[in-house]
Amino acid sequence: MIRSTSIALVCALSAWQAQPAFAYIKFGVPAGGRTVTLKWSQTPRYFVTTDTVPGVSAADFQGAVARAFATWEAVPTSTIAYQLAGTTSARPTEDDGSSVLGFLDRPDLDRVLAATDFVIDVTTGALIESDIFFNSAFQWSTAGEASRFDLQSIALHEIGHFSGLGHSALGETELREGGGRRVIAAQAVMFPIAYAAGSTEGRTLKADDIAGITDIYPTSDVNATLGSISGRVTKDGQPVLGAHVVAFDPSDGSMVGGFTLNNQGSFSIGSLSPGPHIVRVEPLDDADTDSFFSATARVELNFRVMFVDRVIVVPRGGDSGSVAIAVIGK
């Protein structure tokens, strides 16, 4: 029988510091003795609450959330679609079989802007419910007002989690004096740390986000038209866990990232445009590693950023063949 499990997983987006999550660009969950990709097996239906916060009316909230859902739906290589089921007075944290988005006052989570949690069918890995709360302890806006966080941008990130995506590491940060990190730049909506208040740059999906959602919900022609790069990262002959591997397409400047995810140091970056790519490898040093991996994972951070010294060609509808990358300690 189906056993619903609420996991406190927790794909939170914080202005300063992310909460734990695991992932590459998609979540894997144990189900039936194996690891399967976390995804919806049917069109997800969601409710929105009518709660308001200063600067955001119920209509503003529903409009911003609807635009964020529509942005994910507009990815041409993905079949993901969502259905608004209506409004509700339920809180967005109840395990009641309904997916709910709404505000929640959580001043205790002083670094968490919003969070997504799931109820999963542990026999199949299918998503049953996913709730998103936006922390009303922060100031919000739907119009890009300075000093207020952009609801649509944050909703776009959380809906990525809602759909099964984990965090991306395509971003640069610097440490803040008071702790936490400040984003210098990012090239993925799914980067775990948000832009500063007032920015609306997070409203647009990037190549990495599009590749991620395509990987989980591909259209029927994707396998024939897109390709992948796979390989293995080692250091001193030993496999590296947690290396961030980025494929750069010089034809359009796009970047799609992945991670070495297992004890063999293997990686695979899917949904890439066919053609020549440059591959860059870096340690996960622009966010806390537990934004990407479980806190107990032994993620290797002690190696230098490097490029692979050959052009990697992505075949249409195929894989590059295994790319061996040997990184060097700092």
Q: Among residues 73 and 285, whose Cβ is nearest to another protein?
A: 285
| CB contact at 8 A, 259 and 242 | yes
Least spacing, CB of residue 167 vs another protein, in Å: 15
Q: Which amino acid, residue 12?
A: A
C-beta of 30 vs 198, nearer to another protein: 198
Nearest distance from residue 272's CB to another protein, in Å? 13
Q: Cβ of residue 299: shortest distance to another protein, in angstroms?
A: 17
Query: Applying CB under 8 A, which residues contact another protein?
Result: 170-172, 183-187, 195-196, 198-199, 201, 206, 248, 250-253, 255, 274-276, 278, 280, 282, 304-313, 315-316, 318, 321
Of the pair 9, 170, the CB lying nearest another protein is at: 170
Q: Which two tokens stand for residue 296?
A: 């107990």
The angle that helices 58-73 and 151-162 make with each other, rounded to 10 degrees, is 50
Residues 259 and 297: beta-carbon distance below 8 Å? no
Residue 130 dihedral angles phi and psi, to the nearest 5°:
-145, 125
Q: Phi-psi region for residue 97, left (φ > 0), alpha (ψ -120 to 50) or beta?
A: left
Query: Distance between alpha carbon 28 and the CA centroid of its chain, in Å?
Result: 12
The answer to whether 50 touches 188, Cβ cutoff 8 Å, is no
Question: Would you say 64 or 308 has its CB closer to another protein?
Answer: 308
Tokens 């259209």, residue?
219
Closer to another protein by Cβ: residue 93 or 225:
225
Residue 240 CB, shortest distance to another protein, in Å, is 16
CB of 187 to another protein, least distance (A): 4
